[in-house]
Amino acid sequence: MDLTRRQFVQATGAAAAGIAFSGLGANLKPVEARAGQIKTQGAKQTTTICCYCGVGCGAIVHTRQQDGRVINIEGDPDHVINRGALCSKGAALSQLAESPNRLARPLYRAPGAKEWKPVSWQWAIDTIARRVKTTRDANFLAANAQGKPVNRLEAIASVGSAALDNEECWLYQAFLRSLGLVYIEHQARI
Amino acid sequence: MTNHWIDIKNSDVILIMGSNAAENHPISFKYVVEAQNRGATLICVDPRFTRTASKADIYTALRSGTDIAFLGGMIKYILDNKLYDEEYVLGYTDAAMLVGESFDFKDGLFSGYDPKKRAYDKASWALMRDDNGVPRRDDTLEHPRCVFQLLKRHYARYSLPLVSRITGTPEKDLVKVYRTFAATGERGRAGTILYAMGWTQHTVGVQNIRAMSIIQLLLGNMGVAGGGINALRGESNVQGSTDQGLLFHILPGYLATPSTAWPRLEDYLKRRPKSGDPLSANWWQNEPKYIVSLLKAYFGDAARKENEFGYGWLPKLDAGQAYSWLDLFDAMHAGKIKGFFAWGMNPACSGSNAVKTREALAKLDWMVAVNLFDNETASFWRGPGVQPDRIGTEVFLLPACVSVEKEGSITNSGRWMQWRYAGPKPRAESRPDGDIILALGRKVRELYRAEGGAFPEPVLHLKWDYEGPHGEFDPHRVAQWINGYFLEDVKVGDAVHRKGTRVPAFALLQADGSTACGNWIYCGSYPEKGNLSARRGQEDAPNGIGLFPEFAWAWPVNRRILYNRASVDAQGQPRDRKDWVIRWEDGKWVGDVPDGPWPPLGDLKKPNPASRWPFIMTVHGFGQIYGPGLNDGPFPEHYEPLECPLERNYMNAQRINPVAPVWEGKTDAFATCDPRFPYVATTYRVSEHWQTGVMTRTQPWLLETQPQMFVEISEELAALRQFRNGERVRAVSARGAVECTVIVTKRFKPLKLGDLVVHQVGFPWHFGWRWPESGREESANLLTPSTGDPNTRIPETKAFMVNLQKV
């Protein structure tokens, strides 16, 4: 089984190129025969790196074409660090993606309210942007107590996140620093 | 990690201390076991007999928070028995350098201490320099002011009986560990250290690691395969998020955040110290190229020479002031912070003294929480004991995608940048974090463009064109700007690099605005030839040491083992012939990407002027046994944790680290040697949960395997207090209380500190009231204190005092 999976990924090159594909390569007869019986038949296959600890294990994600949901996630045998192995959390990755406990839509809690209220993305982004601007405009510090120019904003703080991708982290810190934030912290500090 | 995961297999002795790798980084153990199968010895030192301990050839316990005493004893053992690698120590470290006459150490204090400020004036710790600014040396290592002799004198006090009395580790165990690890000082043998938060989360966190760094330098273990100093990072991209500067004190690529100490760009460009030694690469002297290229990446065309490339638009810290996690929540608790983003984080459970954090959240006007799941932070207003109608904080909770639903890169502990692809579509209305950041930035900019406002320049000039064709976040575009572009034709030597092409390596970055680069250490990750982090090449190094140079991409410049020029002798030949990393062959380096292109030193007494000393990131080019840059002293010294069972420090006259930050608010209470809180406590993780557990307590398999908050106690303590296995108790500290299920175990044993018997207990910190739905499982951080390391300000969550009460 491992061997056929390896051939599967290598033959299509999909993992390296990041191109989604469906079905099996026409030159892989034995694999085709086998795939007829497995639930990942016809699935889109992508590689990922586990989202938990810092080892950086590779995994293969099978996604159903019909509804775009995960069928299975398992260790990537061609990943040179984990060679297909995963720990208990890594082995449960598909339950993370498909958890019914996941947040489905933006929620809002008004001051003093006892409940969440579902809101639209547009309302949430517009309202948060307005809060950011109002707080920034009212609290921006051009100079510190000694009169030295500092151009900073201490009234807004941010924590997060090692759960973001590098590109998202970079974009996030650029945004926060453009606003003048200095209270920028995340998991690495704790 | 200076080395990387696969490299562990090349070790001869693996010390795991301050980490439980078998439990928390399970796949790392593939390589630990592989090393053992090849004859390596595994040593585990931990307050508790962990899963790592169960695989160890040598295990011994110590009291939590006494690692420097333990390691200081090892330094003494190595020096007393002359087990160090003399050639390496003399040639590659600062051991021969002379320290100025003003440096002193007395009664637990280094020279220059100001008790009012609780801070040192580090000027008195400086090295002696000659007229050219080169450190003075004594190559006989006998001068009383040389680093080697000062080191000897400092650790002369760390005798076996004294170390044993402090740590609780039996003397014979100390000797066994010292002898085994010190044997890696032999040429061709490598020893490694795997540590994690068990070392960093202390008031002496940095000095724990410094103590081990001294050992690794003495034994010649830096730069070699199977060696190094290896921090096992706990999150898939905590290395990357640190590299990208999501911390108050650093911009991307470890450039210092601007402060009032450098009001103008010209001040910043001059800030790095110079070495008078022509053989020191002193790599940080290149910083001007990196900061100017970063400013160009931030502000694009608006960053011009005339406006200091926009340096004035960046916020400035007050020099010397910390804005760290503990400081942040202290300011929030004092009502000084109005708005708050908790992005992919759960501070109501994750940080030290969560009681204070939860109170602080209630002082906010508004909070934005972005997460996969509801959690204790987003829902703090309906937490245990909280009346929602009394909480005025407005909360926005935004659903983010799971990693498999989006595309981008993460960086593992071994500095490997690895690309991941989008598989499933975002579930329900969840969105990639990048989309949310981009949309929010777009809206804020729109408001400033339409209405003006306070200091709008940085907001409006920020380059914000990272969209794909449908307005969505395009990770490739950001990755390419992180890599960097030539903004003009740039001629370097005979080669002309064309405007609009990507920079192939950071050596080509410029300080004149002709290049842009979002993060210099990632320069070369996405050059014109493509995205190197997506590579899957299966070929290893010729000697099979696990470098896999064409699998993913490692910063910097795809170098897999840092300081690898210290792995060779002066002739450029590997000190370890079998597990060699680089070597000089026919006038060039082969193997791993070397730490710079320069030829070998040749003769250490008369080095080749074209060569450079191997420790290129230090000012003078040598490994630093003596560390005059830290806030708490040039040599690690044992101090007790803020909360400890002892009335005094047996090592010196200072009980705690004299410069550790201490807060004095009502919620910051601490209790030392207090009969109300008699047990030493520590926190840790289990395989089945992750961090505060938001991503794992919400899953059925993982919750079933580890369903509830527990406390592990020894059989002796259980007998003493008549606690039964499985019964619920309340754990209390000076700050808070948590209900736990008792696990009576042989994994903890009472420790003997001289005549004193000390009990240790341990808690996982994965729980919180929101999940599981019972609401009865809570966070161990309700117990932990408000203090931390004076350099990093990482909180001290690994050593504190508690009691256990019947429920």
Q: 6-45 in A: which are within 8 Å (CB) of B?
A: 15-18, 20, 44
Q: Please determine, for residue A10, whether its predicted confidence score (pLDDT) is greater than 80.
A: no
Instruction: Mutation target for A interface from B420, B442, B696: give the one with most A CBs within 10 A.
Output: B420
Cα–Cα distance, B81 to B676 (Å, whole number): 44
Q: Nearest 5°: phi and psi at B267?
A: -65, -40
**B806 DSSP 8-state letter:** E
What is the least distance, in Å, from the CA of B242 to any CA of chain A? 7
Chain A positions touching B315 (Cβ under 8 A) are 150-153, 177, 180-182
Partner residue facing B536 (CB), from A15, A112, A184: A15
Chain B positions touching A172 (Cβ under 8 A) are 246, 343, 433, 437
What is the least distance, in Å, from the CA of A36 to any CA of chain B? 21
Q: Please determine, for residue A22, whether its predicted confidence score (pLDDT) is greater than 90.
A: no
Q: Please determine, for residue A5, whether its predicted confidence score (pLDDT) is greater than 90.
A: no
Token pair of B581 as six digits? 């990393």
**B128 DSSP 8-state letter:** P
What is the least distance, in Å, from the CA of A15 to any CA of chain B? 8
Can you give the pLDDT at residue A40?
85
Token pair of A27 as six digits? 């030159």
Q: Please determine, for residue A12, whether its predicted confidence score (pLDDT) is greater than 60.
A: no
Average pLDDT over residues A4-15: 45
Q: Please determine, for residue A26, whether its predicted confidence score (pLDDT) is greater than 80.
A: no
Cβ density class B254-263: b for 16+ within 10 Å, e for less: bbbbbbbebb
Chain B positions touching A133 (Cβ under 8 A) are 444, 447-448, 451, 453
Can you give the pLDDT at residue B553?
98
Cα–Cα distance, B177 to B173 (Å, whole number): 6
A74 CB-side CA count, 13 A:
12
Cβ separation of B422 and A114 shorter than 8 Å?
no
pLDDT digits (tens, 9 = 90+) for A34-53: 555 678 888 999 999 999 99
Token pair of A121 as six digits? 């993305």
Cβ separation of A52 and B235 shorter than 8 Å?
yes
- The answer to whether residues B100 and B207 touch, using CB atoms and an 8 Å cutoff, is no
Chain-centroid distance, C-alpha B652: 28
pLDDT digits (tens, 9 = 90+) for B476-503: 999 999 999 999 999 999 999 999 999 9
Can you give the pLDDT at residue A31?
55
What is the least distance, in Å, from the CA of A30 to any CA of chain B? 24
Which helix (H) or strand (E) covers residue B367, if one does?
strand B366-371
What is the least distance, in Å, from the CA of B397 to any CA of chain A? 5
To the nearest 5 percent, what fractions of chain B are helix, strand and coil? 30, 20, 50
State how far the alpha carbon of B439 is from the alpha carbons of B112, B443, B446, B467, B779, in Å: 51, 6, 10, 10, 34
Can you give the pLDDT at residue B754?
87
Query: Alpha helix locations (H) across B474-606?
Result: 475-483
**Low-confidence residues of chain B: pLDDT under 70:** none
Give this complex's ipTM. Answer: 0.98
Chain B positions touching A135 (Cβ under 8 A) are 338-339, 365-366
DSSP codes of every residue in B668-683:
G---SS-TTS-EEEEE
Give B804's strand partners: B731
Torsion of CA B516, B521, B526, B531, to 10 degrees: -160
Partner residue facing A173 (CB), from B246, B316, B434: B246
Can you give the pLDDT at residue A39?
84
Cβ separation of A89 and B690 shorter than 8 Å?
yes
Q: Please determine, for residue A1, whether its predicted confidence score (pLDDT) is greater than 50.
A: no
Can you give the pLDDT at residue A38?
77
Cβ separation of B424 and A97 shorter than 8 Å?
yes
Which SS3 state, helix, strand or coil, does residue A109 take?
A: strand
Model confidence, pTM: 0.95
Can you give the pLDDT at residue A28?
53
Q: 107-136 in A: which are within 8 Å (CB) of B?
A: 107-114, 116, 121, 124-133, 135-136
